[in-house]
Amino acid sequence: MQRYVRNGFTKVEAILLLGTSGLLIALVAPVLRGSHVQKNRETCLANLGRIGQAIQSYLSDSGNRWPYVSKLASVKLESAQWPTLPMVLSPYLSGPMEVFHCPADARRLDKSHALSSRFTVDTTYFATEGTSYEWWFGEVYGGKKVGDESLSRAAGFGMGRADQPLLSDFGPFHEGDDQGAINTLNADLKPRTSRARPARP
């Protein structure tokens, strides 16, 4: 009696194997993606926390006065040539400036943008500006003593410095709702995650 040894898979077995593999990938991918999204958000919040500590050190050395900070390295909006936040805080941060890099950072440049000659269309704010984080209200805060800036006298939402965004992601980089989520460092120097505001019609 002869014995036959079968080599390889039949077509049916191969289809079943591929189908099972596809199903497993479909089940596992959202979990891995969710974990990746959460890790990005936590890294970004940790970055903002370290930046907040560096700003606190800067304030201690500057007589409790806010720094003059330019919003963008590529566009000078102020009459004076103010430095960007990484430049201001470099003496207070050890190591590379990766603390200014949100891992979810994404930027798309128009072909007409001045930076498009040096960067690809799909890039990041960190690559193009040296930071993933936007400094708010430069004119309002620059050189003012903490508590003397006009926003501190505004009623806001009743939380004082806690509801005044000082620094935030340039865009809704983080998934969270339909518009995405933005991490902020408010004027109380504590990081938070906020829902992005819906786009205006």
Percent of the chain with pLDDT strictly greater than 70: 72
Is 58 inside a domain boundary?
A: yes
* Pick from 10-14, 105-109, 119-123, 140-144: least confident: 10-14
- The yes-or-no verdict on residue 129 having pLDDT over 90 is yes
* pLDDT at residue 201 tops 50: no
Q: Residue 126 domain-assigned? A: yes
Q: Hey, what's the torsion of the CAs at 182, 187, 191, 195, to 10 degrees? A: -30
Please report which confidence band the pLDDT of residue 142 belongs to, taking 50, 70 and 90 as the band edges.
Answer: confident
Residue 59 domain flag:
yes
Domain residue limits at 33: 11-195
pLDDT for the residue 200: 46
Does position 190 have pLDDT exceeding 60, yes or no? yes
Residue 138 CA to residue 83 CA, distance in Å, equals: 11
Count: domains in the chain:
1
- The confidence band for 103, taking pLDDT boundaries of 50, 70 and 90, is very high
pLDDT given for residue 27 in this prediction: 61
Structure confidence at residue 193 (pLDDT): 86
Average pLDDT, the chain: 80
Tell me whether residue 53 is in a domain.
yes
Q: Is the pLDDT of residue 32 over 60?
A: no
Residue 93 near residue 99 (C-beta atoms within 8 A): yes
Q: Specify the pLDDT at position 154.
A: 61
Give the pLDDT of residue 79: 62
- What was the pLDDT predicted at 87? 93
Give the least confident one: 71-80, 122-131, 178-187. Answer: 71-80
Note whether residue 18 is domain-resident. Answer: yes
Please name which of 104, 116, 124, 126 lies closest in space to residue 43, comparing C-alpha atoms.
104
Domain assignment present for 85: yes
What the block records as the tokens of 129 is 């500006």
As a dihedral over the C-alpha atoms of residue 90, residue 95, residue 96, residue 102, rounded to 10 degrees, the angle is -90
Give the pLDDT band (50/70/90) at residue 15: confident
Residue 3 lies in a domain: no
